Every structure is written in structure tokens, then in C-alpha cells.
Amino acid sequence: SAPQRGTLLVKSVLDRMKGESGTRFGIESGRVPAGLVTGLAEKRTGAIFNSIDGTLARLKRSKDADEVAMMRQSIRAIDAGFAAARERIHAGMSEFDAFHTVERASRDSLGMLMPIYGDFVSGPNTEVGGGAPSERIIREGDLFLLDYSVVVYGYRGDFANAWVVDGKASDQIRYLHDACREAL
């Protein structure tokens, strides 16, 4: 995010409010910078600010058929990316190469360009919780973490999985796997 994003939001809302005559305003309290409400209150004597969080949550959860269709497109694209990853990711390729393999398969399944983001890491990079792909070369026996989303007109799915590339799991990976299963 741009460092001045909150300030720009406050300024934009205050500029827009100059031409409005209302005194009751709905705010998404969890997303509104404190300075925005303070600034509005100073500019609008008698202004009443109501949280609309509950209403927005209900609206966000409710989806029309076209929205569901876009989420399904996203999920199909992710599914295609995972299939390509399981088939084509191998020791000797970089994490960037793995990312491009997944991106290409996801894009081809949709027939269009779309944003794709998430974790595409291997080996020791999986121990820090994921991240963007790097030039790191994937080695035999590495754990590969693939946790990503495909955005289709603002809607997305998100899948995650990890597997051992071209080899067997180390004792440490087996131990962590067993601990996770036990915890679940």
C-alpha cells in the first residue's frame, strides 16, 4: 500500500462530503482510519456516525448467480494450476519456473489474463511461512508449498497444499506432518 493511503482516503471523503447535506453517516468501523471519523466530526457539527459492519457482512456473504459463477471460474483455474504443478514441478527448476507453470495453466483454463498471488516456495523458504517465488532452485526431497488465489473480476478462490518434490519426505518433514495430523 502507498504510505499515504489513509491520509488520501480521509481527504477524499472530506472533499466529497462538502457537497452533501446529510448528518447521519454509515462507516465500516474496522476499515476506517480513526482520523477520518475525527476529521468528519470536526467538519460536521451534529453528525452521527453509525457502524454498518453487520449489514456489510451480510451483503458480502450473499452472492448472486454471476458472482458464484466467477468464484467457480477461479476455483477451476486454481485446480488447473495445481494439476500442472503436481505434474510438472520437479527438482532443478526455480521457484519462479514453478510459479510460471501454475500461472500458465491457470490462465489457459480461463482463456484470459488474471491476477494470481500467493505462496510458491520450496525447501527452507517453507519454514518461514511461505512467500513469493524466488530464483531458488528446487531440490530433490524439498517440501514445496503452493497456496494461491486466482482473481476473476474481483472474486477469488484459494487453495493450499504442500508436497515433497521428486523424493521422499525427510524425518523432519514426516515429524511435522504427523504433528499437524495429530493436532487436527
Could you read off the pLDDT of 103-139 as tens digits, one per residue?
999 999 999 999 999 999 999 999 888 899 999 999 9
Res 88 pLDDT > 60: yes
Please give the residue that has the higher pLDDT: either 10 or 51.
51
How much is the mean pLDDT over the chain?
87
User: With 60 as the cut, is the pLDDT of residue 183 above it?
Assistant: yes
The pLDDT score that the predictor gives to residue 37 is 66
User: For residue range 151-179, what is the model confidence (pLDDT) as tens digits?
Assistant: 999 899 999 999 999 989 889 889 988 99
d(CA 112, CA 97): 20
More confident residue, 2 or 34: 34
Question: Cα separations (Å) of 151 from 60, 69, 158?
Answer: 16, 13, 9
pLDDT in tens, 36-50: 666 666 666 677 777
H or E segment to which residue 147 belongs = strand 143-152
pLDDT of 107: 95
Q: What is the pLDDT of residues 14-67, one digit of tens each?
A: 677 777 777 777 778 777 766 666 666 666 667 777 788 888 888 888 888 999
Q: What are the start-end ranges of the E strands in 74-125?
A: 116-122
* CB distance 40 to 14 below 8 Å: yes
Question: Is the model's pLDDT at 1 over the cut of 60?
Answer: no
Cα angle 157, 161, 162; round to 5? 155
pLDDT value at residue 128 = 82
Checking if the pLDDT of 92 tops 50, the result is: yes
pTM metric for this prediction: 0.70
